[in-house]
Amino acid sequence: MQGALTIRRLLRLAAALALSLILPAPALALDGVEIEHRASALIARMTLEEKIGQLTLSSNGPLYRPQEVENGLVGALINFNNAQDAASAQALARRSRLGIPVLFGLDVLHGFRTTFPLPLAETATFNPALARNAAEWAAREASHVGVQWTYAPMADISRDPRWGRIVEGAGEDPFLARAFAAARVEGFRKGGLATAVKHFAGYGAATGGRDYDATDIPPAELRDVFLPPYRAAIDAGSETVMSAFNALNGVPATANHALLTGILREEWGFAGFVVSDWAAIHELIAHGIARDGAEAARKAFLAGVDMDMVGGLYSAHLADEVRAGRVPEAAVDEAVRRVLRVKLRLGLFERAPIDPTRVDAVFPTSGSREAARAVAREAVVLLQNRGSILPLSPATRRIAVVGALAASAKDQLGPHAARGHAEDTVTILDGLRARAGRAGVEVAYAEGCDPRCTSGEGFAAAAGAAREADAVIAVLGEPEAMSGEAASRAHLGLPGRQSELLEALAATGKPVILVLVAGRPLDISRELEKVPSALMAWYLGNEGGPALAEILFGDINPSGKLPVSWPRSVGQIPIHYNRLPTGRPTSALNRFTLGYMDESIEPLFPFGFGLSYTSFRFSDLVVPARVSASDTIDVRVAVTNTGERAGEEVVQLYVRDVVASRSRPLRELKAFEKLALAPGQSRIVTLKVPARELGFHLDDGTYVVEPGRFDLWVGADSRADLTASFELVDGLRLPPGQRAAGRAPSVR
Ligand code: BGC
């Protein structure tokens, strides 16, 4: 007994120490031992109801019961997005018997008041430093009015653009997603917010792209592809983890002991707390694994969910479950301790009261706008530019801007815009008008149709405006309500009659530039045949208008790259570049090989793709012939700007393990670097690949790096063809739980 207690105490101290390493220095830095001591002292004084209170998250709005806060029965609150509400709720909490502060959480994803591009767009920059800076701004603004915890980053890998939430994440690639998850956590924490990496785990693999549907991911693939970005966020210091809505391989993530306790705590040593997604514990009943609220609460809790987000089931049932002996009170104490550790470490107990007079209207500032514009400039992806129609030639005297989305500030903010305001937004139309005005270029605007394009009445006027212009900028795509949560689509075409509108514009014979506003790749194969140029403009936020105008007029050279493969048609989905080989590789000469009878096997645009106004050449690839698993491989390549404009290129490195004990992907991204080159300039880049990153998992979680030949490619996208091989002379084998891949790739 004595021994067990000592071991438990040691484990606690180790956990405290681990947490003290990952949490940022609070205003008043408490050390791990003091945190443990204070948490223990509080727990010793708490009633069972007060303990469960710490595990209860309530929301502003109809669910909010101020009296419960004052009674110490609420540990955290969501949707308190202004200082006045937060200050009054915090005052109530501080008046409770033990005076434990509540933790205020909110979805702060891509800015708070200043709205930045959506995470998927931000990932298209291939520049994690920008994401870190964006997250820091968002955190600073949110914490200004009392928010302390963001439900971000979303680290769910998704290979399915039918899923509306693909826009909230980093796309299809685990290596890229790791880099962005880590950068975002670092930025949020630097700006003063704790983070909740979500949605653990596998939410982005929803069957059929249907939000909330079950996911089935083989164990090895789960560890190779889906789990690494969450782990990168935790390594970067994420204090909390949000459990997902979905069932993972038959067990809802929110009651999944193997995931929440086995992998997260036992293997990874995660010492923070797990919060459920919105009412996800209650949903265990609909999932068919709990008869009633009591069973749902018990299953979620025993699986490893520490905090119930707005379901009210812990507060309704957990005390009875403890009294009935079905839930050990010691486990409740541990969960409370995890919550208190985060609060203590954040310095919430020592923080001055929230100043209720603070408002978010002090933002955006010139600094936050500049930061948002920097992301927007690099997020835009030039998809097509036949005849180098872009940038607009100096001979352009008049442009026609067509499409309601060009003038819709609200849609430009995109989904999940926290406190984003339409009136802070410079629309695409306004940005173009301002830039064109400076160049003496006239701008005519025609809506064409409403954002969902339900009527063709305005088409003739739009075509009329096009006829009188030298170039037409057609801003089409998805209004923001068609993207984000609960916005799955079975059809990915341009909404309503937008395609017809585009056709009417193209029929004028004027060069049409398609600017696509959307949260995901759309099915635009046919449309692209009708227009010379197309840009993916996502939802660019407050500074999208000026950024896009700079690109169209050539002040900025586009450098965005697709963080997802872009399908030719919905039937190709799921589509991703890092797929496994087949025994029958595609061959035009043999029908009995991988492919479709009625569609190409290739995406419309590959992962990592994006054009520039200049061109780049990759040459002189140098790779060591033989490497050891303990080496970091230096891959050298020369990159030359062979065009006439300055530009930025993302050097991408892919590898393939040619023969292994399991089939390995045809290609996997293992390094990237964005660099700026003047016209004619050449630079030697050295990309570094730790050889331990070349491995993969077995079904039982063992991580292996196997010796043998590896092929490697370097270039501007996942089809890069500059190639070399090397020999890995030895291997590595790590049991489950031991650190396999290294930390997230470093950010310049
Ligand atoms: C979403 C989460 C979000 C939560 C709180 C849920 O519906 O799935 O991503 O953090 O709501 O707003």
Choose one of 60, 107, 165 to mutate for the ligand 1 pocket test, by most ligand atoms within 8 angstroms of C-beta.
107
Residue 525 lies in a domain: yes
Residue 372 in this model has a pLDDT that exceeds 90: yes
> Can you give the pLDDT at residue 737?
79
Residue 93 lies in a domain: yes
Do 463 and 527 lie in a common domain? yes
Do 325 and 397 lie in a common domain? no
Q: Three-state SS across 7-72?
A: HHHHHHHHHHHHHHHHCCCCCCCCCHHHHHHHHHHHHHHCCHHHHHHHCEEEECCCCCCHHHHHCC
- Phi and psi angles of residue 93, each rounded to the nearest 5 degrees, phi first: -60, -40
What span, in angstroms and rounded, lies between the C-alpha atoms of 82 and 282?
28
- Between 747 and 216, the more confident residue is 216
pLDDT per residue over 411-421, tens digit each?
Answer: 999 999 999 99
CATH code: domain of residue 632: 2.60.40.10
Residue 25 in this model has a pLDDT that exceeds 60: no
pTM of the predicted model as reported, rounded to 2 decimal places:
0.95
CATH code: domain of residue 490: 3.40.50.1700
Q: Is 168 in the pocket of ligand 1 (CB under 6 A)?
A: no
What span, in angstroms and rounded, lies between the C-alpha atoms of 518 and 166?
11
Give yes or no for a contact between 513 and 534, defined as CB atoms under 8 angstroms apart. Answer: yes
Q: Give one DSSP letter per residue of 540-599, joined into a string.
A: --TTHHHHHHHHHTTSS------SS-B-SSGGG-S--TTPPP-SS---TT-SSSSS-SSS
Active-site residue, 277 included: yes
Q: Give one DSSP letter per residue of 178-225, joined into a string.
A: HHHHHHHHHHHHHTT-EEEEEEETTGGG-GGG-TT--B---HHHIIII
Do 536 and 632 lie in a common domain? no
**Domain ends where: 345, 368, 395?**
345
How many structural domains compose the chain? 3
> Can you give the pLDDT at residue 351?
94
Do 447 and 332 lie in a common domain? no
> Can you give the pLDDT at residue 30?
77
Q: Is 692 in the pocket of ligand 1 (CB under 6 A)?
A: no
438 CB-side CA count, 13 A? 10
Q: Is 211 in the pocket of ligand 1 (CB under 6 A)?
A: no
Residue 127 lies in a domain: yes
Q: Is 151 in the pocket of ligand 1 (CB under 6 A)?
A: yes
Q: For atom 5 of ligand 1, which residue has the closest CA? A: 278
Do 323 and 408 lie in a common domain? no
Work out the average pLDDT over 453-470: 98
What span, in angstroms and rounded, lies between the C-alpha atoms of 251 and 259?
10
pLDDT per residue over 67-98, tens digit each?
Answer: 999 999 999 999 999 999 999 999 999 999 99
Do 450 and 328 lie in a common domain? no
Do 247 and 335 lie in a common domain? yes
pLDDT per residue over 674-729, tens digit each?
Answer: 999 999 999 999 999 999 999 999 999 999 999 999 999 999 999 999 999 999 99
Q: For atom 8 of ligand 1, which residue has the closest CA? A: 277
Do 568 and 620 lie in a common domain? no
152 Cα nearest atom in ligand 1: 10
Q: Is 485 in the pocket of ligand 1 (CB under 6 A)?
A: yes
> Can you give the pLDDT at residue 20?
44
Q: Is 334 in the pocket of ligand 1 (CB under 6 A)?
A: no
Tokens 């089809």, residue?
A: 719
> Can you give the pLDDT at residue 745?
63
Q: For atom 4 of ligand 1, which residue has the closest CA? A: 278
Residue 350 lies in a domain: no
151 Cα nearest atom in ligand 1: 10
Q: For atom 10 of ligand 1, which residue has the closest CA? A: 151
Q: What b/e string do you get for 591-606 counting C-beta neighbours within 10 Å, with b at 16 or more?
A: eeeebeeeeeeebbbb
Catalytic residue among 277, 424, 657, 717: 277
79 Cα nearest atom in ligand 1: 12
Residue 192 in this model has a pLDDT that exceeds 70: yes
Distance 413 CA to ligand 1 centre (A): 18
Distance 518 CA to ligand 1 centre (A): 21
* Token pair in block for residue 256: 């999944």
Work out the average pLDDT over 597-623: 98
Structural domain harbouring 47: 28-345
Distance 277 CA to ligand 1 centre (A): 6
> Can you give the pLDDT at residue 3?
40
pLDDT > 70: percent of the chain:
95
Residue 398 lies in a domain: yes
* Token pair in block for residue 341: 């550790």
Q: For atom 12 of ligand 1, which residue has the closest CA? A: 107
Q: What secondary structure letter does DSSP report for 397?
A: -
> Can you give the pLDDT at residue 364?
97
What span, in angstroms and rounded, lies between the C-alpha atoms of 51 and 336?
6
**Domain ends where: 539, 572, 605?**
572
pLDDT per residue over 476-507, tens digit each?
Answer: 999 999 999 999 999 999 999 999 999 999 99
Residue 740 lies in a domain: no
Distance 104 CA to ligand 1 centre (A): 14
Residue 402 lies in a domain: yes
Do 636 and 533 lie in a common domain? no
Residue 19 in this model has a pLDDT that exceeds 70: no
> Can you give the pLDDT at residue 4?
43
198 Cα nearest atom in ligand 1: 9
- Between 406 and 741, the more confident residue is 406
Residue 10 in this model has a pLDDT that exceeds 60: no
Q: Is 203 in the pocket of ligand 1 (CB under 6 A)?
A: no
Q: Identify the CA nearest to 661 among candidates 704, 693, 629, 724.
A: 704
CB atoms within 10 A of CB 722: 16
Work out the average pLDDT over 645-660: 98
> Quick one: how far is CA 534 from the chain centroid?
24
Do 117 and 37 lie in a common domain? yes
Do 183 and 283 lie in a common domain? yes
Work out the average pLDDT over 326-339: 98
Q: Identify the CA nearest to 639 among candidates 622, 658, 616, 657.
A: 616
Residue 611 lies in a domain: no
**Domain ends where: 572, 602, 632?**
572
114: helix, strand or coil = coil
Confidence of residue 269 (pLDDT cuts 50, 70, 90): very high
CATH code: domain of residue 142: 3.20.20.300
Alpha helix positions (H), 380-427: 409-413
Do 548 and 431 lie in a common domain? yes
Q: For atom 2 of ligand 1, which residue has the closest CA? A: 277
Confidence of residue 5 (pLDDT cuts 50, 70, 90): very low
Alpha helix positions (H), 314-382: 319-323, 329-345, 366-379
